[in-house]
Amino acid sequence: MTQTRLYIVASKAEADRIFAALETAFEEDGLPLAVQEIDEDRDIHEVSLYADSDSGVDAPGERIAGVLADIGSTHRVQCEILPDIDWVAKSLEGLQPVRAGRFFVHGAHDRDKRRDGDIAIEIEAGMAFGTGHHGTTAGCLEMLESVVASEQPKNALDLGTGSAVLAIALAKLAAIPVLATDIDPVATEVAAQNARLNGTAGLVETVTATGFDHPAFGRGPFDLIVANILAGPLMELAPEMARHLKPGGSLVLSGILDRQEEAVLAAYAAQGFRHVRTLHLEGWVTIHLKR
């Protein structure tokens, strides 16, 4: 099937900023998105999004232009008609591996870059959100490493798991059972595949659940909950988080813009949570809270 590549040419810093904004805007659409270096000496990079007529996404070019306007970018969206090639696989070639603390998140094409001592997580950028390239995911990985080292949790919940990168990270780091839930059955299936790929299927249970009333949550309360979703849903879920986290347990939240931090903290303070610290990365925050 003929596909369209919508792309923006920019410097590396600007390309990374645009990529982060587009990944958030299109996270539920399942469209391949990548940053690729074109000319290192001249600092030329391209941010590309691939779409076809069956994607179910309305006017992606107009949506990209809207995202650029929202972040104050004056870059132009360009369009290229592509031949019938597996552009999902092709787009992965532009994804570089990510290091966050001891974690090394990579695609199959970068297995040879793993180092001794790495906690390697192999994730392919498919239908589910979360390859480690977004500042929220990287922030969560760094925060989880710190929390696990100081608290040694015995069970955990990854709420809104996406690709399961955070659930897999917890299983590999702490060797504890992790419940990984998502409202999207496609994401849940991708999460299960990734857990098997990374040898953590015995610890990571993936479940499609639209709310905390699902029977799977009966295995709580949890010592640790991580939720990398969005600020609005996180604030709405504050009472449920309090009910499903053990006293003394830790909550790691992300998907929160810098400007939204105070509102999220207020919502959780009202439920008896104490703010421990905040990580800032690429315009996003990752928050550690305790009960």
pLDDT digits (tens, 9 = 90+) for 201-224: 999 999 999 899 999 999 999 999
Question: 131 falls in which pLDDT band (50, 70, 90)?
Answer: very low
Cis upstream peptide for 221 (omega within 30°):
yes
Between the ranges 20-24, 35-39, 142-146, where is the mean pLDDT highest?
142-146
Please provide the average confidence, as pLDDT, over all residues in the chain: 88
* Mean pLDDT across 38-42: 88
Looking at domain 128-290, does it have CATH number 1.20.1260.10? no
Question: Please, are residues 155 and 223 in contact by the beta-carbon 8 Å criterion?
Answer: yes
Alpha carbon distances (Å) from 288 to 39, 80, 127, 279: 39, 43, 28, 9
pLDDT value, residue 81: 81
Domain limits, the chain: 3-92, 128-290
The superfamily CATH assigns to domain 3-92 is BMC (bacterial microcompartment) domain (3.30.70.1710)
